[in-house]
Amino acid sequence: MLKGKRIILGVTGGIAAYKIPLLVRELKKLEADVQCIMTPASCDFVSPLTLATLSQNPVYIDFWNKKDGTWTNHVELGMWADVMVIAPLTANTLAKMTHGNCDNLLLATYLSAKCPVLIAPAMDLDMYAHPTTTQNLEQLAQHGVLITPAQHGFLASGLEGQGRMMEPNDLVREISFFFEQSISLYGKKVLVTAGPTYERIDPVRFIGNHSSGKMGFAIAKSLLKRGAEVILVTGPTQCQLTHNKLTRCDVVSAEEMLQQVKEHFPTCTGGIFSAAVSDYRPAEMHSVKMKKTADELTLQLVKNPDILQWAGDHKKHGQFLVGFALETNDALDYGRGKLEKKKLDCIVVNSLKDSGAGFGVDTNKITILDSNNKKQAYELSSKDVAAHNIVEYIVKNKL
Ligand code: C5P
């Protein structure tokens, strides 16, 4: 998995740096190409000569070489790498990364790197538990940085707790796992629809549903983790997600959602349609607030466009299409019917009969049916795990 992979290994000034030679050795054994960038402080913990010898590459510390006046091109280093790993990552460099400081070569390379970045924080337990550190890690995660959390155990301070850098062998496994996962959708662009749609009655009222958007956002997150670019077309939701490979298109009604899908789906490798689109909308939208004069009120509704059906009808060769079917009864039969009618590659069926599945909750219980007549049922799980299973199914079955 790591053979020929180009890894920039950023080393910062924490005691766990003494383990980095072992990490370099393991990566080299697996035939990865490793270039180390060290912060000046890290040179007090591990010698550049050791890392240069083990990596069989020069070690970069400064922006320019004082001996011959040559400049180290951080942009080129960032472009060269398939992944940048920063281990150990101190609280100081973490904070600088969060705020975009770039007062050393490692930070400048991080800021200009186009490749995914994986970090292995290591610090004393109180520093790790500090709310600032937690916030900084959350912020980096939102920027798409992959985090291997610090481990529990004996710390250099003599204390015991969470703060140890992940052991080199485990880090190698994480890096391999990253390549296994991220390569799968690298260079692909996927459209996801999420959330409810609101169909306006008048300026203050609408017809809507209880969809929270959580499932669609979890799917977007899972796709981003695997290196895909995501176009997330979402109805009104409280969900938040930011990532440098995410384009979020907020819409309100089904017609607005269809417009966005028409614009983006043709440029995508595929689409996962999890939005709970209102089937009908008021025939007329009143421009002023309706008055409650009459005792009875009849609203005339007209059918909304079926957005997924549009995508199925316009799907090009090689594009994959995944739909959802939320049913109250005969879920599998209805699901298969929709799979065929909407020309899908697979459909994710969930039943409101299953407790813990459906709208608003954080869990889901899904069954995937595909166009090759295969069926895979999953246990009740968090929506994040369900999203992972859906994305993994797409990747494994090369949809
Ligand atoms: O036919 P039904 O509404 O049950 O189909 C559900 C699937 O179709 C979901 O994937 C949903 O996102 C999609 N859909 C759509 N536009 C509609 C109705 C449903 O994209 N108007």
Q: What is the pLDDT of residues 57-91, one digit of tens each?
A: 999 999 887 777 888 888 888 889 999 999 999 99
- Whether residue 198 has pLDDT greater than 90: yes
- Whether residue 182 has pLDDT greater than 70: no
Which domain, by its residues, includes 308? 189-282+296-396
Same domain, 254 and 372: yes
R_g (Cα) of the chain, nearest Å: 25
Give the whole-angstrom CA distance, residue 347 versus residue 36: 45
Same domain, 157 and 210: no
Q: What is the pLDDT, as a whole number, of residue 353?
A: 77
Q: Is residue 290 part of a domain?
A: no
Q: Is residue 112 part of a domain?
A: yes
Give the whole-angstrom CA distance, residue 17 versus residue 198: 54
Q: What is the pLDDT, as a whole number, of residue 110?
A: 96
Last residue of one domain, picked from the residues 134, 164, 182: 182
Q: Give the pair of three-digit tokens for residue 1.
A: 């998995």
Q: What is the pLDDT, as a whole number, of residue 179?
A: 83
Q: What is the pLDDT, as a whole number, of residue 226?
A: 85
Q: Is residue 355 part of a domain?
A: yes
Q: What is the pLDDT, as a whole number, of residue 183?
A: 64
Last residue of one domain, picked from the residues 118, 149, 182: 182
Same domain, 271 and 363: yes
184 in Cβ contact with 254 (< 8 Å): no
Q: Is any atom of ligand 1 closer than 6 Å to the C-beta of 254?
A: yes
Q: What is the pLDDT, as a whole number, of residue 108?
A: 95
Q: What is the pLDDT, as a whole number, of residue 75?
A: 81
Same domain, 210 and 149: no
Q: What band does 146 get if pLDDT is binned at 50, 70 and 90?
A: confident
Q: Is residue 288 part of a domain?
A: no
Same domain, 236 and 361: yes
**Planar angle of CA 337, 270, 118, nearest 5 degrees:** 130
Residue nearest to atom 14 of ligand 1 (CA): 308
CATH no. for residue 84?
3.40.50.1950
Give the whole-angstrom CA distance, residue 354 versus residue 346: 21
Average pLDDT, the chain: 93
Highest mean pLDDT among 113-127, 150-164, 335-349: 335-349
Q: Are strands 375-377 and 367-370 parallel, antiparallel or unpaired?
A: antiparallel
Testing ligand 1's pocket by substitution, the residue of 261, 262, 273 carrying the most ligand atoms inside 8 A of its CB is: 273
pLDDT (tens digit, 9 = 90+) per residue, 253-292?
999 999 999 999 999 999 999 999 999 999 999 999 999 8
Q: Is any atom of ligand 1 closer than 6 Å to the C-beta of 370?
A: no
DSSP state of 183: G
Residue 325 CA, ligand 1 centroid: distance in Å: 7
Q: Is residue 289 part of a domain?
A: no
What lies within 8 Å, CB to CB, of 21 at 6+ separation is 46, 50, 51, 54
CATH no. for residue 310?
3.40.50.10300
Number of the ligand 1 atom closest to the C-alpha atom of 323: 10
Q: Is residue 151 part of a domain?
A: yes
Which are the catalytic amino acids?
209
Last residue of one domain, picked from the residues 155, 182, 209: 182
pLDDT (tens digit, 9 = 90+) per residue, 88-145?
999 999 999 999 999 999 999 999 998 889 999 999 999 999 999 999 999 998 787 8
Q: Is residue 287 part of a domain?
A: no
Residue 227 CA, ligand 1 centroid: distance in Å: 27
Distance, first Cα to last Cα, the chain: 23
Which segments within 229-279 are labelled E, that is strand?
A: 229-234, 246-250, 270-273
What is the DSSP secondary-structure string of 272-324?
A: EE--B--SEEESS--SSPPP--SS-----EEEPP-HHHHHHHHPPTT-EEEEE
What's the structural domain count of the chain? 2
Same domain, 223 and 81: no
- Whether residue 208 has pLDDT greater than 90: yes
Q: What is the mean pLDDT of residues 23-27?
A: 98
Same domain, 232 and 374: yes
pTM (two decimals): 0.70
Q: Are strands 381-382 and 280-282 parallel, antiparallel or unpaired?
A: unpaired
Residue 308 CA, ligand 1 centroid: distance in Å: 6
Q: Which of 161-170, 315-324, 338-347, 390-399 shows the lowest per-residue confidence on average (mean pLDDT)? A: 390-399
If one compares 359 and 40, the residue with the highest pLDDT of the two is 40
Same domain, 173 and 211: no
Taking Cα atoms as reference points, which of 86, 136, 76, 124 lies closest to residue 107?
86
Same domain, 34 and 154: yes
Same domain, 278 and 314: yes
- Whether residue 227 has pLDDT greater than 90: no
Q: What is the pLDDT, as a whole number, of residue 189?
A: 95
Number of the ligand 1 atom closest to the C-alpha atom of 304: 21
Hey, what amino acid is at 184? S
Q: What is the pLDDT, as a whole number, of residue 398?
A: 72
Q: Is residue 259 part of a domain?
A: yes
Same domain, 139 and 226: no
Same domain, 198 and 178: no
Q: Give the pair of three-digit tokens for residue 232.
A: 């997330």
